[in-house]
Amino acid sequence: MSFLKDFSKSLLDAINKLRGSTGDEAALKEFIRDIQRILLKADVNVNIVLEISKKLQEKIKEEPPQGFTRKDLILKELYDSLIEILGGRTKHRLQLNPDSLNVIMLVGIQGSGKTTTAAKLAYYLKNRNYKVGLVCADTYRLGAYHQLKQLAEKINVPFYGEPDAKDSIELALKGIEALSDKCNVIIVDTAGRHKNEQALIEEMKLMASKINPTHVILVIDATIGQAAYNQAKAFNEATKIGSIILTKLDGSAKGGGAISAAKATNSRVIFVGLGEKIEEFEEFDPVSFTNQLLGLGDIDLLSRKIEEARIEQKIKAEKFMRGEFNLKELVEQIKEFRKLGPLSKLLSLLPGFSIELPEDALKEAEKNLDKWEAIINSMTKEEIANPKIIDKSRARRIARGSGTDVKDVEKLLMAYNMMKRNVKRLKRLGFNVPIK
């Protein structure tokens, strides 16, 4: 099976296993181990795998926003991490100027897929209304001329080459000259007979200094996995106008390693080759690539929902700290706080925390939370919004309705008033609501 399908399937299997589990700590840990195994199998560098595992592990301890589970949190983290190791949220594009001549020089070691990619890119750009021409500057390999000529004929774009030429730079210059009046994009296919990064880069520099391309693209065979790191790094250091095309992502078990290695060097991957056919070629976007891997983009959706919930929670907490809360919101917020640990412990971490602060009220609040919930459920909307209207007779009615004592109702009201007064003081002391 191909890398993409294989990688995607193992990720989906792990995700479905997690979704079907109870989501307890053991299940989450097993999920993390599954992910580690899958990433390592895709040849992602072990340090990157450890980094991701650490981030996933942190989610086991974290409290999810209301309405979400730890399973959700960990899936979101996986999603974000995948996007990150595959290139981040910025999509890099090939920037062409339609009003002037663009000369694209393709470099890469022999067999990496340059000639195929030259034709794929030509076809891709032709379909986007560029006038594309192909130049064969490979004087090294027998058959290079015929290979590109055939491809050019197949996709019907102008071609320049000489079957018996000796000097590749001279040939490239002649080709550019010959095609420049009918084309605005000229793609120069080179020999790249080197197996070693440094020699390849030297050759590229020499040629680039003579033909002065507007773009240099390094073609890397993704089946080499994380070994792509050295090539991408040397290349990235050598040229400012360079970007990368990864080929054979279809056929390699190590594709993930190649993409993440390129990202680790801060290189810009702009296209990927996904098969031998001309049209098996795509612009590379880490986000949509990740969505393809994880299927249907539902984790993308989940991820956005979690973000929204967090923002909502933050707004609520900020309102709370301004003392803007009704009784119901007080109970909700105390519950939120409680998830972070005992309130008294939380407060004790604050510098300058003194006894005049409502520790008693908070302790009381913690103890009485369930009772308070019942009390509030017996109140009318008006009473919740404006507890001042709760007089003795209302308090009796509420107590009866909630199976509590009038004293409990009074205690709640007292705590509420005290909290309202005191949060403002907390805020002045620099107490910020801890938000994940």
Binding site for Mg ion (CB under 5 A): 114-115
d(CA 398, CA 223): 71
286 binds, among ligand GDP, Mg ion, none (CB under 5 to 8 A by kind): none
d(CA 247, CA 280): 10
Report how far apart, in Å, the C-alpha atoms of 57 and of each of 8, 18, 20, 242, 369 are.
Answer: 22, 14, 19, 37, 31
Cβ atoms 216, 105 nearer than 8 A: yes
Among 25, 276, 308, 360, binds ligand GDP (CB under 6 A): 276
Among 274, 293, 331, 398, binds ligand GDP (CB under 6 A): 274
Neighbours of 324 (CB within 10 A): 12
Cβ atoms 168, 138 nearer than 8 A: yes
Residue 75 C-beta: closest distance to Mg ion, Å: 42
**CB-neighbour burial class of residue 212 (10 A; exposed 0-12, middle 13-18, buried 19+):** exposed
Q: Does 250 bind ligand GDP (CB under 6 A)?
A: yes
Among 231, 243, 247, 333, binds ligand GDP (CB under 6 A): 247
Beta bridge partner(s), residue 104: 187, 215
Among 36, 110, 292, 422, binds ligand GDP (CB under 6 A): 110
Residue 25 C-beta: closest distance to ligand GDP, Å: 42
Q: Does 190 bind ligand GDP (CB under 6 A)?
A: no
Region binding ligand GDP by CB under 6 A among candidate stretches 225-233, 242-250, 385-393, 418-426 = 242-250
Residue 311 C-beta: closest distance to ligand GDP, Å: 41
Structure tokens at 323: 């003392």
Cβ atoms 383, 389 nearer than 8 A: yes
Q: Does 113 bind ligand GDP (CB under 6 A)?
A: yes
Closest-approach residue to ligand GDP (CB): 273
70 binds, among Mg ion, ligand GDP, none (CB under 5 to 8 A by kind): none
Cβ atoms 132, 309 nearer than 8 A: no
Of 70 and 248, CB closest to ligand GDP: 248
Among 114, 268, 316, 411, binds ligand GDP (CB under 6 A): 114
d(CA 280, CA 9): 20
Of 185 and 200, CB closest to ligand GDP: 200
Among 87, 133, 225, 251, binds ligand GDP (CB under 6 A): 251
Structure tokens at 271: 């296209």
Tell me which residues touch ligand GDP (CB under 6 A): 108, 110-116, 247-248, 250-251, 273-276
